[in-house]
């Protein structure tokens, strides 16, 4: 269970959002929406422990994340907006290197199976610099197929993907949710996922003196 209480974000002397409250249980997902500059990426980085919040706190399984930081990070997979892959390494090498850095060595057979399922069959050994933007995104997303993390936090995972790849990614996310995983992601497009979903929209509330979020349940 992930619980967020009163989270706020400041950029310079401007408050991007405040009073972010939500909880996420196994099998549930949250889509974060908002205009450019509303603080979507900042919120995800806070949730992943990569940036401090101006106010509020985060709990994991009923305990402050600050008290269980190692356990929380062991259960977390964060993929940022940029693919974050090394241009001189092959798709296979990038996938295995990312796993090694995370402290979870990945055998070649598992890595190859992930790359082929994500649509990179025949390109596993090509250097990333010769891949298209969509193919580079697929290299990053292949990490999902090798992950045992309970909580996935994904910043714009559907960017640069064609229709077939979007459908495939939705299937991968559904599989994660069906196993009791938790998912938080940003996207500028509507996606259809299973499980229990909500949207969190960041932006100014005309009836409030400070920007406040709104949460809406996604119809099944």
Tens of pLDDT, residues 66-103: 999 999 999 999 999 888 899 999 999 999 999 998 88
Exposure b/e, 156-176, CB count within 10 A at least 16 = b: bbbbebeeebbebbbebbbeb
Instruction: State the angle between helix axes of 108-117 and 133-145 in degrees (0 to 180), rounded to the nearest 10.
Output: 130
* pLDDT attached to residue 218: 52
CATH 3.40.50.300 occupies which residues in the chain?
2-75+149-219
- CA dist 123 and 93 (Å) reads 12
* pLDDT attached to residue 209: 42
- CA dist 220 and 195 (Å) reads 8
Residue 141, token pair as written in the block: 């997303």
For the chain, how long is the longest CA-to-CA vector? 56
Which pTM value belongs to this model? 0.90
Residues 141, 169: contact at Cβ < 8 Å? yes
* pLDDT attached to residue 2: 97
Q: What are phi and psi of 119, to 5 degrees?
A: 100, 20
Residues of the chain with pLDDT under 50: 206-212, 219-220
SS3 label, residue 107: coil
* pLDDT attached to residue 219: 46
Residues 111, 96: contact at Cβ < 8 Å? yes
Residues 106, 168: contact at Cβ < 8 Å? no
- Fold classification of 2-75+149-219 (topology level): Rossmann fold (3.40.50)
Residues 95, 139: contact at Cβ < 8 Å? yes
């Amino acid at each position: 269970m992930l619980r967020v209480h009163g989270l706020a974000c400041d950029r310079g002397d401007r408050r991007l959002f405040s009073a972010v409250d939500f909880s996420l249980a196994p099998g549930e997902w949250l889509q974060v929406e908002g205009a450019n500059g509303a603080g979507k990426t900042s919120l995800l980085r806070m949730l992943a422990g990569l940036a401090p919040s101006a106010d509020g706190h985060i709990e994991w399984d009923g305990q402050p994340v600050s008290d269980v930081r190692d356990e929380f990070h062991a259960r977390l997979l964060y993929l940022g907006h940029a693919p974050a892959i090394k241009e001189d390494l092959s798709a296979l090498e990038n996938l295995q290197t990312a796993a090694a850095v995370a402290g979870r060595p990945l055998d070649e057979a598992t890595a190859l199976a992930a790359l082929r399922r994500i649509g990179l069959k025949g390109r596993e050994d090509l250097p990333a610099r010769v891949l298209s933007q969509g193919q580079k995104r697929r290299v990053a997303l292949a990490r999902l197929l090798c992950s045992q993390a309970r909580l996935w936090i994904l910043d714009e995972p559907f960017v640069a993907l064609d229709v077939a790849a979007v459908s495939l990614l939705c299937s991968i996310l559904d599989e994660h949710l069906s196993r009791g995983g938790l998912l938080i992601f940003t996207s500028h497009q509507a996606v259809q996922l299973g499980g229990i979903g909500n949207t969190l929209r960041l932006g100014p509330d005309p009836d409030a003196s400070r920007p406040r979020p709104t949460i809406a349940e996604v119809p099944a």
